[in-house]
Chains A and B, each alone.
Chain A
């Protein structure tokens, strides 16, 4: 059974730091991996989608990478800002299933 793990569960950093969020999955037959942001009491906002044939995607200060052989994806946030404070979730889709399995998220707090 596919499992998706995000460690740490919570992270607090000073403003301006570069940081890495980790996502591990047990099944190497991953089709897609998507990163989301969730603000308290809100829905999920899509940040980046890495398709199985890709190694990384970039959007502004965000860069996500996918290493299927090691079962890991990382989300790199450059020059963090207080507005980046939110919960970050990753979700992995196994080939041919149409279904995403979500990690439990990393709660990020960026201190001004």
Chain B
């Protein structure tokens, strides 16, 4: 089992460019999450998908969109990147409520 995988590992964008961060899990989990981690701010939830076919906003959704492509995959899109979106992005998944979350290795994004 690969667990939770994320691509790419690193990315540099110019302001205004768009990109999609990919996340996949092979644990047959129902729920998937996108977080960002910034120094001094901790992890903050961007969007989540409680189950296939549903997505909901988290704490900091502005500037992002998500797609739950199927049960395995949950992508995060930045339509017009801004320097404030420079961060480390983590994807996580779990079977469902009342179960542990498992995290991917992260994507380090820099927007110049």
**For B102, what are the chain A residues with a Cβ–Cβ distance below 8 Å?**
46
6 closest Cβ pairs, A-B complex = A104-B42, A102-B43, A44-B103, A43-B103, A43-B105, A49-B100
Task: Report, as a range, how many residues of chain B touch the other chain.
Answer: 20 to 34
Q: Is residue A100 within 8 Å, beta carbon to beta carbon, of the partner chain?
A: yes
On whether the beta carbons of B48 and A43 are closer than 8 Å, the reply is no
What are 6 A-B contacts defined by CB distance under 8 Å?
A31-B97, A46-B101, A46-B103, A91-B101, A99-B48, A100-B45
Seen from chain A, the residues whose Cβ lies within 8 Å of a Cβ on chain B are 31-32, 34, 36, 42-46, 49, 51, 89, 91, 93, 96, 98-105
C-alpha spacing A11/B97, complex, angstroms? 32
Provide the B16-50 mask, 1 if CB < 8 A to any CB of A, else 0: 00000000000000010101000011111100101
On whether the beta carbons of B101 and A100 are closer than 8 Å, the reply is yes
| Contacts known (A31-B98, A49-B100, A98-B48); A42 close to B42, Cβ less than 8 A | no
On whether the beta carbons of B103 and A98 are closer than 8 Å, the reply is no
C-alpha spacing A51/B100, complex, angstroms? 10
Within 8 Å by CB of A102, from B42, B48, B56, B106, lies B42
Within 8 Å by CB of B45, from A36, A44, A99, lies A99
* Given A98-B56, A102-B35, 16 extra CB contacts under 8 A: A31-B98, A32-B97, A42-B105, A43-B4, A44-B92, A44-B103, A45-B103, A46-B101, A49-B100, A91-B101, A98-B50, A99-B45, A99-B48, A100-B45, A104-B42, A105-B42
